Structure 1
């Protein structure tokens, strides 16, 4: 295991390379027509370049070149990553249909599984375990797809996906480093560096978006890190840990699917029912909304570290409670927003009266 300072050097390299390459990627995006146009569903008002995920990938590669960790399953992971990046570029250029995008994501996941990286069994409490057998293939593919789309669906505000992913990756690094998982720690720390470097340009007001190129790449990377690291000695609890860390995007995605099914809509139908849109509707500023969700992500990440010392059954109960709490909070915020922000209106009226009296 490399000393801790080596990982921080790799983080710094990834950070600097991402900062250096993002302006170049921005020029490429504008020249090549990789531009996100404003619409009623989106919060930005001007056309924005949107393949910033390339800069994140460049930074991560630079950090890995410095660390040179032992890279098990190098080719399937690398080819899968390239497939995701190419898929993201095509989608950022032409806006693929949900079915075509899902097909491409499944292709990348299948490459990984065919290369030998699979979730083959889960150890249970009391010395039992479940072997998936042939089901290990679809189970692993579903895990990768879940992570890819969880990050992809929260990429709705400036800096939200990059910041949330960086927080989750920081927690994953801490757990992997403590557990001596060299590859998982290396992958996590370089992505933290590149994510923070990209935030220099992506935090509100953003100068460039990561696009599906970036959000899908980050989700894919997180799924791989969990499998090569936390899943090395897989127990039912270590399966729960990444879900706790990424509770905000995962539960937001899960309840978005339920909401659309109840409304008799397609699962892929976009809406403004996500937590970040509802916070905006309540009257919070763009930047404040993102910072609130950063705080929630930090809370869940810290909870994951604490729960690692907790009994399995208690961890399951806590994660279910937190998930329901997140949804209740989102519904409550939505109700307040629909009532035309009475709280904020009252505050504004009081401020105006105070100013007039002065």
Structure 2
């Protein structure tokens, strides 16, 4: 665990320190596109944040290759080099798109090429484990198609959800944490050495997102762009490909003592690709809904619009920060629930906790104007907007008239304002009539 923590810290530090110079470079290079109709931000913001994230990826893999235990992985497996090759291609494609713009079909072709390069170097799904049946072998064609499909779908799911400040990096970080917990348990809990590459990929991915997130939270100083969103999508997909088809259910059966226990333990693995689809359930849902919506409207599935889930959260009244936190909540609930079920799927407490959290999430989702207040002793732990307003005794008298005025936006307030306006209009009319009817007063237009 210490070596993983060291790799994580190095990746975080390099990504964080590189983001500032990359921002200046993006401004100097003119990678600040004009604001589009679907954008949420109101000021041009530099892109190319993926350059810093790619630097963090390279630094993390370099440090890991020099460590005692993790370093053995680089000599025993070709998967880290396969990841670096595919990541380099997808990152270069993203940089070109951030600076000059690339056609959607060209990007799709580039994503397939990057996935194919990883397949050629051994990062592929060779079989699907099914408890009670064993390993179902795949033909080379089936293996290639399944791997390329998983990589391309994951990349585009992350790319589609990258619409609010800090949204994509935070959601992928949550998915990486859940994936790391599962892969680490498979390796050290059950002795499945084939899970080592996925554990390393998840640790590096966490570092990339955590290092970039401070620069990307609202209001963002820099965007990751396609060079970042496609990169972290590919790294997440590489971890899913690495662990799927590498875990032998028979070994888990021997450890658990029964086939039923093995089935519960292997929930995220024996159903093909369940875990990666679960940790990205929200982006995947957004991807599917976007394709259906655009196709139904006669548009290209790659045509951009303002119909994404995060756009709808803003439309119903949620603030920018709250919309991001809501997406975080549902992503974490999906991801960690799956990991919890893989540990103890028969626990009633886990089911009840998930139900209660779902109910809480629905309440927050349906009350966009609700602002919770915390007790006074805990106010220093939360942002100022969640603290109760304080009244100053010296200004209480001066603000009496303002306090007596009905709040804006309510029915009472609008009615009071309409009555005041009518009264002012009648008063002005009466004064005008009095001026016209007074014989001894003449109104001089020149004053």
TM-score normalized with structure 1 length: 0.84
1:77 CA displacement: 2.3
* Partners of 1:244 and 1:303 within 8 A in 2: no
1:62 aligned onto 2:59: yes
1:21 to 5, 18, 22: 18
Match of 1:118 in 2: 124
1:214 CA displacement: 0.3
1:305 aligned onto 2:305: no
Match of 2:390 in 1: none
1:50 aligned onto 2:47: yes
1:241 aligned onto 2:272: no
Counterparts of 1:118 and 1:6, CA distance in 2: 26
Question: Where has structure 1 moved over 4 Å in runs of 4 or more?
Answer: 341-344
Counterparts of 2:292 and 2:92, CA distance in 1: 30
Task: Give the gaps of 5 or more residues in structure 1.
Answer: 312-317
* Structure 1 residues 229 and 135: alpha-carbon distance in aligned structure 2, compared to 1, 3 A threshold: closer
Secondary structure in 2 matching 1:123: strand
Instruction: Provide the aligned length of Structure 1 versus Structure 2.
Output: 329
1:62 CA displacement: 1.9
Counterparts of 2:229 and 2:369, CA distance in 1: 35
1:36 aligned onto 2:39: no
1:9 aligned onto 2:9: no
Match of 1:168 in 2: 175
Match of 1:218 in 2: 232
* Structure 1 residues 32 and 111: alpha-carbon distance in aligned structure 2, compared to 1, 3 A threshold: same
1:103 CA displacement: 0.9
* Structure 1 residues 173 and 348: alpha-carbon distance in aligned structure 2, compared to 1, 3 A threshold: farther
Over alpha carbons, which structure has the higher Rg? 2
Match of 2:296 in 1: 262
Counterparts of 2:412 and 2:51, CA distance in 1: 47
Can you list the C-alpha shifts for 1:227-266, whole angstroms capped at 9, x where unaligned? Answer: 2234422754252111111101011101211122222221
1:94 CA displacement: 1.2
* Partners of 2:317 and 2:369 within 8 A in 1: no
CA RMSD of aligned residues (A): 2.8
* Partners of 2:126 and 2:245 within 8 A in 1: no
* Partners of 2:125 and 2:242 within 8 A in 1: no
* Structure 1 residues 19 and 342: alpha-carbon distance in aligned structure 2, compared to 1, 3 A threshold: closer
Task: Give the gaps of 5 or more residues in structure 2.
Answer: 188-194, 249-268, 346-350, 372-406, 418-447
Match of 2:156 in 1: 149
1:193 CA displacement: 1.8
Match of 1:83 in 2: 89
Match of 1:184 in 2: 198
1:137 CA displacement: 1.2
Can you list the C-alpha shifts for 1:307-342, whole angstroms capped at 9, x where unaligned? Answer: 32577xxxxxx9xxx9xx9xxx9xxx8xx9xxxx99
Counterparts of 1:281 and 1:343, CA distance in 2: 15
Counterparts of 2:274 and 2:240, CA distance in 1: 11
1:89 CA displacement: 0.4
1:129 CA displacement: 5.1
Counterparts of 1:222 and 1:296, CA distance in 2: 18
Counterparts of 1:103 and 1:40, CA distance in 2: 27
Counterparts of 1:158 and 1:285, CA distance in 2: 12
Secondary structure in 2 matching 1:112: helix
* Structure 1 residues 126 and 198: alpha-carbon distance in aligned structure 2, compared to 1, 3 A threshold: same
- The equivalences for 1:129-144 within 5 A come to 130-133=136-139, 134-144=141-151
* Partners of 2:156 and 2:233 within 8 A in 1: yes
